[in-house]
A = this chain, B = another copy of it.
């Protein structure tokens, strides 16, 4: 029986300059639709669960295109509501080597999603229905209406016995008031969450926790258990990532559960499309939890999921369980016939 994974988040139109040109050089764009909620719902569908997205899109050609793309990704549209006037959008220029990729946003605060309130969704049905609900810090940074909907939905799912997953995903540019503005909202969400995606930086910067440790791992090992305890969180997971050189990144995942840390090996890998790797990692953690994998296997599965997502065009993970397990083995395969 597949689990029902419900994600909450904005559908963003991604408008990407093909190849490596700048917007000022090119004249075509490739478009898809993504967002953290989209990515996690789609990834969970690829892993054999049922992925539902809670979002609002406008009743116009852009909204219709968005719905078609979500359906193409295998996302169930039961909880997508029509309304509002605009889609959030971002433009992506691919970097190369020393030149970083650039993302330019349109005014997403006016989007259908960010102008929707809790009455625009049938939160009770969703809470009744969901096995897992997933939220992220990007939505938390948006508007009061969105924050209220998030918290209400998290509370109701929790009441109905569903699992609440929260990905901290702090984006500095989205919080005009900085960490001070963000902190109380994060604390509310952490208090409602069973599974949290974060690392030591979130503890230090958002929650303002202190540590004398100077290494990332030292800080992690000191702070994450405190967070788990403070907010009664069952599972905390996250990654340490590094941009090593031209298109080569490295990633090491961790999971903290039952007062124990498990780590994946530090792996280097080529990156084709960087965006969405975090959501693939989250999906791997959720999949491990839902399938009852050991923490060791879960973190390795999640790390492989994150790495494979970097080899796929677009923001949204496309790998199946079989493909992720093959990547966990680390063997480089020749052409699959």
Contacts and interface: CB of A to CB of B under 8 A. Distances in A.
Contacts of A60: 104
A332 B245 contact: yes
A108 B98 CA distance: 35
A117 interface: no
Nearest to A89: B106
Given A102-B335, A246-B270, A28 B25 contact: no
Contacts of A101: 334-336
Contacts of A332: 98, 100, 243-246
A60 B274 CA distance: 21
Interface string A239-254: 0000111110000000
B311 A95 contact: yes
B247 A20 contact: no
A93 interface: yes
A334 B274 contact: yes
Given A15-B29, A30-B27, A270 B247 contact: yes
Nearest to A60: B104
Interface residues of A, number: 78
A8 interface: no
Interface stretch (A65-73, A158-166, A207-215, A281-289): A65-73
Contacts of A318: 22, 24-25
A280 B38 CA distance: 32
A218 interface: no
A32 to B, nearest CB: 7
Contacts of A99: 308, 311-312, 319, 323, 327
